[in-house]
Structure 1
Amino acid sequence: MDSVPRDIPASGAGNPLQQLSLEQLRRRTSMKWRTYPDDVLPLWVAEMDVPLAEPVARAITDAVTLGDTGYPAGTGYAEALAEFASKRWDWDGLAVEHTAIVPDVMLGIVEMLKLVSGPNDPVIVNSPVYPPFYQFVGNMGRPIIEAPLGADGRIDFGTLEDAFGRAVAGGDRPAYLLCSPHNPTGTLHTADELAYVAALARTYGVRVVADEIHAPIVAASATFVPYLSVPGAQSGLSLMSASKAWNLAGLKAALAIAGPDAADDLAHIPEEVGHGPSHVGIIAHTAALRSGGDWLDALLAGLDGNRRLLAGLLAEHLPAMRYEPAPATYLAWLDCRSLDLCGDPATVFLERGRVALTSGAGFGTGGAGFVRMNLATSAEVITEAVRRMAAALD
């Protein structure tokens, strides 16, 4: 195995996406950099090509120096998230006493679904959507009902209401797994849309569990609205984490947050679930939320630049590929259906262009013919990736 890199500093000022070379990144041993051969540009899984934010790196180093590597305790993480939510989203409704630490967002979703629905009750999702929604819910033995997004990539409320009606007919306690911001499209749900979701859920007796892991990754020109902040969402549950925004997926920690009317449900979460998160992970996530704001702002500015760059490169080199820059997440949802490819576009670009993207097929109805690209990398890598993708079609 490669030795642990010693020459990669934690990032300070400047665009974090432009601070590591491809050579440095290839010394990493995580999934992104070990799944494919070295001649492949990996732009698939949701890891960012950034050094750690300096406050996060310092918090981890201090914990290791002190030997503070035991079991997690306290509410510091929840308090930090509440402060962040107040500052960034103008939301003062995150009650620390109505939170619970969970190992990560997807495992937290599993636990929330267990609390508010039964073993055979259906779960509604808005396809195309994050593939683990299908995998984790399927592994629970729960039937999935799709409510596909509209052609504009937004929630289609007629379709959603129809799905709610079918879910109620098929189970006693159905649940709606809301992805907000939406992965893979980057759609940012508005306050009015979320309030309508809450009203619809209340009418049909459907419980809402919101995956809000990408909440901090929103362009400065846009606004993220927490689901639990809208009228009528009191019985909802949310899962949040600092992992996506500060690249901390390997430091496991997330928070389950209950609306006021769901607090009793959350109180029944098994005590052992709280043993899953990493104590060092919680320290890192807390530092990110409390002290990583400047780093996050630099990242968001860099992502805005990458969205503009990709749009320009595709217009020049792959004009038949459709892409609408989205205000949230660091993911680009690319429509390849007009390229007239033989087979899955992700397979074509991997085999012919040596660019690894995520196939849209795994995102459910509406995903076929699309690929998802991770934009959390340098401008140079994005430019080379598009060059390779265009060459793959020659």
Structure 2
Amino acid sequence: MTSNEQHPSDEANPLRSLTLDQLRRRTSMKWRTYPADVLPLWVAEMDVPLAAPVVRAVTEAMELGDTGYPVGTAYAEALAAFAGKRWGWDDLAVERTAIVPDVMLGVVEMLKLVTGPGDPVIVNPPVYPPFYEFVTHLDRRVVEAPVGADLRIDLGVLEEAFRRAAAGGGRAAYLLCSPHNPTGTVHTADELGAVAALAERYGVRVVADEIHAPVVPVGARFVPYLSVPGAERGLALMSASKGWNLAGLKAALALAGPGAAADLARMPEEVGHGPSHVGVLAHTAALRDGTAWLDSVLAGIDENRRLLTRLLAEHLPGVVHRPGEATYLAWLDCRPLDLGDDPADVFLRRGRVALSSGIPFGAGGAGHLRLNLATSPEVITEAVRRMAAAVG
């Protein structure tokens, strides 16, 4: 499998396209949760105009009145073509896919297929907080297998969690975040192969949340979980949502390995009524025609990642920042600043910068925060200035 196939783009950096005044006209969660004097660098929305192919697809649907129910496999076909070009994965079987409302609701449906009430679901904290919320709301039990000090999967800790889960009876699942949110870690083929082997040994079913898969820049190699040997009984969820900023246009795809096809076939037919038809059109257009735009965004995120590293070294040298390989999220260890378990609260109150508290990310989250890099360099520069002033 090759590394991400990307080419230089003539498109301008979309992260530099919009002013703060333009962004504050938005009515989504990122821009309406806090007062106007707060810089929002928290929830995973990007400060970009949409890719032109997406705008065209949605506009044409509006003009046609094409707002009915979704049908067909165009979305899955677009993802399969993207996966082949981008990740060298030529084995994405369209016939083993299903449209679901979004990635987390798809995770819920997959967990319903392979576990029962009270069964354990293993996660790798610190990890995306909805992993806890959706799993517990589903009446499953979260089992933590924290990442190592290097922010990678600790296979020894994971095996022990698998062993305990298997010994407890019932049906266990492992909810894998790939690439990992909030650390930006991209799991290697060897790591994922080891995960698959452990899952088979202990009878644990793997459900991989791969929503950030498109947000992997040149120099890093994303490996789809279902592409590794031994993952035949795995399930995965993918979407264009994070790569193209389409959270408000609901649509995702559930994928099954050959050994999980029968499980996916048991998913209730009504689940496919949940996605937005317009969302399906938008995601399909993004995957099919939006790669040049994506590459421009990824280049801008890389610039911002380097900028944040420089700014922290200059203004907040106590903050420990290990730049991630993927996603547009930065995980900051603020414990050396002695701001308590929730430094995000301090920076909000004193600096008027909204960041994601590390506490809801589970074990290893206290004293940390998550910062969204998908904004302009000017906003990041001002945010770090405010943060430094807040503790100065």
Scaled by the length of structure 2, the TM-score of the pair is 0.97
What does 1:306-385 correspond to in 2, within 5 Å? Answer: 306-342=304-340, 344-385=342-383
Residues 115-165 of structure 1 deviation map (CA, whole Å, 9 limit, x = unaligned):
011112100000100000000001011111100000000000110000001
Distance apart, 1:170 and its partner CA: 2.0
Distance in 1, Cα, partners of 2:332 & 2:29: 23
* Aligned twin of 1:90: 88
* Aligned twin of 1:101: 99
Distance apart, 1:319 and its partner CA: 0.2
* Aligned twin of 2:6: none
* Aligned twin of 2:286: 288
Q: Determine helix, strand or coil for the equivalent of 2:241.
A: coil
Distance in 1, Cα, partners of 2:221 & 2:105: 27
Equivalent residue letter for 1:226: P
* Aligned twin of 1:7: none
Equivalent residue letter for 1:123: V
Gaps of 5+ in 2: 1-9
Aligned partner of 1:78 among 59, 76, 81: 76
Distance in 1, Cα, partners of 2:215 & 2:86: 11
Whether the 8 Å CA contact 1:122–1:171 is kept in 2: the answer is: no
Whether the 8 Å CA contact 1:120–1:171 is kept in 2: the answer is: no
Moved more, 352-361 or 112-121: 112-121
What does 1:128-139 correspond to in 2, within 5 Å? Answer: 128-139=126-137
Distance in 2, Cα, partners of 1:111 & 1:39: 40
* Aligned twin of 2:269: 271
Distance apart, 1:324 and its partner CA: 1.2
Q: Determine helix, strand or coil for the equivalent of 2:99.
A: strand
* Aligned twin of 1:205: 203
Distance apart, 1:171 and its partner CA: 3.0
Q: Determine helix, strand or coil for the equivalent of 2:320.
A: coil
Aligned partner of 2:109 among 108, 111, 116: 111
Distance in 1, Cα, partners of 2:65 & 2:139: 41
Distance in 1, Cα, partners of 2:74 & 2:147: 37
Distance in 1, Cα, partners of 2:259 & 2:12: 43
What does 1:1-394 correspond to in 2, within 5 Å? Answer: 13-342=11-340, 344-394=342-392
Q: Determine helix, strand or coil for the equivalent of 2:176.
A: strand
Distance in 1, Cα, partners of 2:217 & 2:245: 17
Distance in 2, Cα, partners of 1:232 & 1:196: 9
Q: Determine helix, strand or coil for the equivalent of 2:254.
A: strand
Equivalent residue letter for 1:317: H
Moved over 6 A (4+): none
Distance apart, 1:337 and its partner CA: 0.5
Residues 331-374 of structure 1 deviation map (CA, whole Å, 9 limit, x = unaligned):
00000000011451010000000000000000000110000000
Equivalent residue letter for 1:13: E
Distance in 2, Cα, partners of 1:345 & 1:144: 25
Equivalent residue letter for 2:111: L
Q: Determine helix, strand or coil for the equivalent of 1:238.
A: strand
Distance apart, 1:93 and its partner CA: 1.1
Scaled by the length of structure 1, the TM-score of the pair is 0.97
Distance in 2, Cα, partners of 1:229 & 1:73: 26
Distance in 2, Cα, partners of 1:59 & 1:289: 12
Distance apart, 1:215 and its partner CA: 0.1
Q: Determine helix, strand or coil for the equivalent of 1:245.
A: helix
Whether the 8 Å CA contact 2:340–2:367 is kept in 1: the answer is: no
Moved more, 319-328 or 309-318: 319-328
Distance in 2, Cα, partners of 1:169 & 1:110: 24
Distance in 1, Cα, partners of 2:67 & 2:139: 36
